[in-house]
Chains A and B, each alone.
Chain A
């Protein structure tokens, strides 16, 4: 039945065999979940956020559970872009799956340097993270001010030979303003939403559960926010949108596509179910097939608002 639906989609000129991407920071560099299924089942992998130099990340606790969600404060722990290119990318390249490199810089120049190296190494796309809530330098600071977001986007575009997608923060008053700024600066796509800034406190000890006090909220609790923001952004810009935020099922993925997403990333769901991305893909295919849709891309932006 699933064969009847064409699952392929195009995101910023890159063809994905299906619209299911795994979200940066939830899937490492693919090694762990690659033990459960062939990574070629996925449309694309957004790898763990990279920085110029190795980062150890934040002290623990780095996670707190919330009603239908989690707060995390990992702090961009990663081996650095050079170690990724030497040890992780060749391994990922053994699989027939598109690779999206996620990068965070503490200066616009760092974004440029990483774009150059990663383009040269042949990743399929670069996701520019201007929305990490868990690091002091760069990160969210670039994502909350349109002129800084545009500056980083322009530098990334100048140095990248592959499509550049900019990951937007939901922790802003008007996300469409940032989306338009990065579109005007040349972004080929936007991805949203990154996590929502949150906090939990242990009432017994009077201490925040996270060692960094605050962290990023993800999981099914944020899906309605993601759907709303994807809808707003898709109407505000012409470039494609990678939608994400709390997707647990094929119906959730369909909601984001109907709101305007060309493709959908699955993230936190993997922690509950390692097979979540593959299951979401199959459920989405069944949903489309059941509605008599021949190409899943027909769902993109097909919402009929009141």
Chain B
């Protein structure tokens, strides 16, 4: 059940030229959060809408959120300092199903942070595959190495890890590791589509975390619609953000 809470910023760091990390004292909100869920953060008084931000990690009452500056709201967030407070609504949404700890967790770009929470919950048994546009956008690699069975990295320009996209690494991993229970992915839509295809080819179930412009964050306003394979719209904030890959209409 979601709650609204003023959360004190305990730590604020810049991870790379594009991404920031804020660690909040979020109390029961942090303790209730599950991997794949998100928080809806008020970004000052001059913007009406909250900003949905994935939960990167939780530890007791601490909740870590990592975001890139995409517009005015996230720019405002990036200027916050330790001991300031944020108005946070959460935990929201339907997260990942983590049955079977031997999972392949795939993140791309700003879809990488929530994947950290996934691998942490798998107690070192999950494999992580991370994709970045370039080395200057890489983040959280030490955290992933400490928490995952293996970590593979790809970049669009070859400046870090394998030159290319994460779906190639997913195919390779699923060939080598025969007992992977599922693929879990978060990232841009074309990446999710490619990863879902790679998982389907290997006959491994795949869950994807989707993104859409959001309003209320709780399922009341119906704006964050995602087209499903059966033709119906479901809502990223309440029905998702995590869906089974085969539920999604990838051609929409």
By a beta-carbon cutoff of 8 Å, the part of chain A in contact with chain B is 25-28, 31-33, 35-36, 48, 56-65, 68-70, 72, 74, 77, 209, 219-220, 268, 270-275
Contact = CB atoms under 8 A, between A and B. Distances in A.
A270 B219 CA distance: 12
Contacts of A28: 219-222
Interface of B is mostly: loop
Contacts of A57: 222, 225, 233
Nearest to A215: B223
A72 B231 CA distance: 21
9 contacts: A60-B225, A61-B212, A61-B213, A62-B222, A68-B48, A72-B221, A270-B216, A271-B215, A274-B218
A32 B225 contact: no
Contacts of A72: 215, 221, 223
Contact of A272 (B50, B214, B219, B226): B50
Interface string B194-233: 0000000000000000001111111111111111000111
A68 B216 contact: no
A57 B228 CA distance: 13
Given A35-B1, A62-B223, A63-B223, A272 B213 contact: no
Nearest to B47: A65
B89 interface: yes
Given A65-B48, A220-B48, A271 B212 contact: no
Contacts of B218: 32-33, 35, 274
B99 interface: no
B60 interface: no
B49 A27 contact: no
A62 B233 CA distance: 12
Given A28-B219, A57-B222, A273-B4, 11 more contacts: A26-B216, A28-B221, A28-B222, A35-B218, A48-B222, A63-B215, A70-B49, A72-B223, A74-B221, A271-B50, A271-B217
Among the interface residues B50, B215, B232, which one has the most CB atoms of the partner chain A within 10 A? B215
B100 interface: no
A271 B238 contact: no
B92 to A, nearest CB: 10
A69 B48 contact: yes
Interface of A is mostly: loop
A237 B66 CA distance: 54
B213 A270 contact: no
A59 B238 contact: no
A265 to B, nearest CB: 14
B222 A271 contact: no
A83 to B, nearest CB: 13
Contacts of B219: 28, 31-32
Interface in B49-94: 49-50, 89
Contact of A64 (B213, B238, B252): B213
A77 B222 contact: yes
A33 B220 contact: yes
Given A35-B2, A61-B212, A63-B214, A25 B221 contact: yes
Contacts of A74: 221-223, 225
Contacts of A48: 222
A108 to B, nearest CB: 26
Interface in B152-210: none
Given A60-B212, A70-B215, A271 B225 contact: no
Given A56-B231, A57-B225, A77-B222, A271 B48 contact: yes
A60 B48 contact: no
3 pairs of A and B residues whose beta carbons are closest in the complex? A63-B223, A28-B220, A62-B223
